[in-house]
Amino acid sequence: MDTVQKGNKFENLVFKYIKQELYNDNFLVSPRNSEIFQKKGYYSKDRQSNIITDISIETFLPNIKNFGLLIIIECKDYKKNVPINDIEEFYAKVQQIAGINVKGIFVTTAKLQNGALKYAKSKGIGVLHLPPESVK
């Protein structure tokens, strides 16, 4: 299995897990006001093009057309610890997409390097560690 197939398999697993948690009302936002997507693009003024997200959840206030909160979920199925530059890159993408109306969550099978974890905490990025045996 090549890295793209491996990544897609992991994203599908995470999507299924997050969707189930959302619809069971065990997530950050209510399923009544939220929609979950996989591989959706969001416009970046900096790039002047879309950034494709692994998973996103748009949450709306009643009778409002545009989402009030966007949750962006990045999925990484790594064997080695996640380096800080992966978290920094994810944070930069999150900021380009929605500014202050966004929550980033980084889901990985590997642990984060110490500096990466500190950076994620300082930027308010949620981290979900799924042990490798849980994604088989």
Write the CA distances from 101 to 2, 89, 91, integer angstroms.
Answer: 35, 18, 13
Would you state the pLDDT for residue 26?
93
Can you give the residue ranges of every domain in the chain? 3-135
Task: Measure CA 4 to chain center.
Answer: 17
Among 112, 111, 79, which residue's Cα sits nearest to residue 3? 79
Q: Any residues with CB less than 8 A from the CB of 19 and at least 6 apart, and which?
A: 36
Q: Any residues with CB less than 8 A from the CB of 94 and at least 6 apart, and which?
A: 72, 102, 104, 125
Q: Angle CA(111)–CA(114)–CA(116) in degrees, nearest 5?
A: 80
CATH number at 3-135: 3.40.1350.10
Record the pTM: 0.92
Q: 51-110, pLDDT tens digit by residue?
A: 999 999 999 988 888 889 999 999 999 889 999 999 999 999 999 997 778 999 999 999
Q: 17-54, pLDDT tens digit by residue?
A: 999 999 999 999 999 999 999 999 999 989 999 999 99
